[in-house]
Amino acid sequence: MRILLVGAGGVGNAIAKIAAERNFFEVMVVSDYDLSRAEGVVEWIRKRHGDDVAAKFLVSKIDAGSADNVTAVAREFGITHILNAVEPKFVPTVFAGAFTAEANYMDMAMSLSEVHETDPHHTPGIMLGDQQYAVNDQWQRSGRLALVGMGVEPGLSNVFARYAADYLFSEVDEISVKDGGNLVVRDDEGNEIFAPSFSIWTTIEECLNPPLMWQSGKGWYTTAPFSEPEIFDFPEGIGPVECVNVEHEEVAMLPRTIKANKFSFKYGLGADFINVLKTLNLLGLDRTKPVRVRSPQGPVDVSPRDVVVSVLPDPATIGDRMSGKTCAGVLVTGKDSDGKQRATYLYHVADNAWSMEHYESQAVVWQTAFNPLIALELLATGVWQGQGVVGPEEFDPKPFLDLMSSSTGYKQQWVAQERMPAAPLRDPRTE
């Protein structure tokens, strides 16, 4: 297996560092538009693991916005698998470049959605991943695999959902992804600051678009942003966090293959984060269409969202100022094998102090990074096999979770925590 890693930012950086501990691939080409970022992570690997390990990692400059350039780099290095670790706005070009290069493809976020023009808060427009699923037949005919949404959420969450449906439940009522944490970022004086732990570009896209839902008898539908707030009690000391509906890939993916009455995704943003996002929306700073701005050099066109990204800290650089944990999990409700009501929260927690100590990567990007590597390893060994455009929920989840937790694997423990099968605790402020 010869891997082209597109993007050496926060997640890409962590992917390369974790990959240095595995031996299932022949070469990994770390590529970025900023070649110094790719060179920096390979130098980190060299210092940590030595010249022999670092020799498996090559570097290249790449333009993720050009399908032709992605194809050219893949062909230059004889790539068999392209792993996309850049912003989801680049999915179409990296995806197309991989197909033309006759390489297999993997990403952690899918092609972007477009809201319904006249009824955005009830009716879906173009859904997340629709552009990729639309060419499934082409990928199948080529005999190659595009494994999409293979990060932590989507990705590990899809694996958890499939595992619960196959091994823990005889009948599934609802699959609800619950993501939350107690991460805090502070400035040099120790004051808590607003510094998202993941790409603010992506966060704005997820949280301000109408959330996608799926319900039996109704199919896919949308609601208003930040709808149905609830307080969810996250494990391992994180505690209660306010969660709201947001747009996310799992709801577009899981109903295709898993039988349940309802699918949803709730993000534990917290009231302060929600207020910031609402303010950005109110001021129009969430827009991607450029606006004309006056400057001493003359008028320039600037995307408001790109300005927001530029003035906030790079998520890849805030790990040493961050503390706390992040939890990715799926709450599944339904009936067990005996027909009794059951509620199980399957989750994985990443501690920022641990990920910084071992990988110098902050917890959120690190937690995302190990999942595509597990999937690549299963593909390299032939345990997972497939063709076409598919999500991780279409594969047997047990080998993934076994390799994830094994002492000879990725040594990451996951938990299936039993919960009382009752309705979630509603936020009294909304009642």
Per-residue model confidence as pLDDT tens digits over 85-131: 999 999 999 999 999 999 999 999 999 999 999 998 999 999 999 99
pTM: 0.91
Strand partners, 342: 334
* Domain 2-150+368-405 indexed as CATH 3.40.50.720: yes
| Spatial separation of the C-alpha atoms in residues 187 and 318, rounded to whole Å | 10
Rounded mean pLDDT, 388-394:
98
Rg (CA), the chain: 21
Whether the pLDDT of residue 266 is over 80: the answer is yes
Report the CATH number of the 156-363+413-430 domain. 3.30.360.10
pLDDT (tens digit per residue) in 158-182? 999 999 999 999 999 999 999 999 9
176 membership: H or E segment, kind and range? strand 171-181
CA quadruple 421, 424, 425, 431: dihedral, nearest 10: -140
Ranges of each domain in the chain:
2-150+368-405, 156-363+413-430
Confidence of residue 197 (pLDDT cuts 50, 70, 90): low
Pairing of strands 2-6, 27-32: parallel
| Spatial separation of the C-alpha atoms in residues 138 and 158, rounded to whole Å | 24
Residue with tokens 């039988």: 259
Residue 415, classified by CB atoms within 10 Å of its CB into exposed (0-12), middle (13-18) or buried (19+), is middle
Q: What is the pLDDT of residue 32?
A: 98
Q: Backbone phi, then psi, for 327, in 5-degree steps?
A: -125, 130
